[in-house]
Structure 1
Amino acid sequence: MIDIERILAPTDFSTHAQQALRYACDLAERLGADLYILHVLSEIVPTGPDPLLMPVMPPQFYQEDEDRAAKSLETVLDPSWGKPRTVTTAVRWGTAAEAIVDYASEQKIDLVVIATHGRSGLSHVLLGSVAERIVREAPCPVLTIRDTGKARPNAS
């Protein structure tokens, strides 16, 4: 039997991610699992003709961003979605896919539940797919949730 004790639900606070988080929360309750919620902040990459001339952001800028994200994670769950055994939140800096895969490895996550944004065509080629990369690189199974825009029926 497969034991799922630790579920990771990365979030960018979008409506797509909220739907996946709802699934993850419900699964964690049903399986008696711990729920880990991760938000990844993108590092600012200088662009322009001469990156050496770009202003450097002060350290408090990064700390304020991190503090805002951590505060948002505290209220991201709706109590009606279920009650996981425990909930752990974290904020990381970096590229989304890499940070999520690294966090899943570090925390020995058993299942990642992530939203797909449903991009196709040129936008998918240009922007890539974070979910697709996580499916390829994660150290555990990945459940992708496509937001159809419809409310999920109560599966009770």
Structure 2
Amino acid sequence: MIADAIETAEAAAVNSIASEIEFGVPSKEIRNYIDTNEIDFAILGTHGKTDFSRYMMGGVSVKIVRTSPVPVMWVREPDSSGG
């Protein structure tokens, strides 16, 4: 999945592409990466779960949006049914 995203970015001639794998609490590791690498805009994939309990408990992307010092955009994978 990460390799596919990198390939897509390279095909679109994105200027700077980096990938890194870290271990730990995902939201904390992503926030640390944003801070450490002077990221100015974050794009996060989301599964788009919409039930109220998931929203209140907060997934990784929700935690990033709440704590990020930079703008964050959520991107949902297209529906596989084509709809």
Q: What is the TM-score normalised by the length of structure 2?
A: 0.74
Counterpart check, 1:112 vs 2:42? yes
**In structure 1, the residue corresponding to 2:75 is in which secondary structure?**
strand
Partner of 1:145: 75
Gaps of 5+ in 2: none
Q: Which has the higher strand share?
A: 1
- Give deviations 1:7-51, integer Å, cap 9, x for gaps: xxxxxx3xxxxxxxxxxxxxxxxxxxxxxxxxxxxxxxxxxxxxx
Superposition CA RMSD, Å: 2.5
**In structure 1, the residue corresponding to 2:45 is in which secondary structure?**
strand
Q: What is the TM-score normalised by the length of structure 1?
A: 0.43
Counterpart check, 1:132 vs 2:62? yes
Give the CA deviation at 1:89.
1.6
Partner of 1:85: 15
Q: AA paired with 2:35? A: S
**In structure 2, the residue corresponding to 1:83 is in which secondary structure?**
coil
**In structure 1, the residue corresponding to 2:20 is in which secondary structure?**
strand
Number of aligned residue pairs: give it. Answer: 78
Structure of greater Rg: 1
Q: AA paired with 2:38? A: K
Percent of aligned positions that are identical:
23
Q: Could you say if the C-alpha distance between residues 126 and 132 of structure 1 is closer, same or farther in structure 2, counting changes exceeding 3 Å?
A: closer
> Take 1:130 and 1:149, find their aligned partners in 2: how far apart are those partners?
21
- Give deviations 1:110-137, integer Å, cap 9, x for gaps: 1000112111326616963111110011
Give the CA deviation at 1:143.
0.7
Q: AA paired with 1:84? A: V
Gaps of 5+ in 1: 1-12, 14-72, 151-156
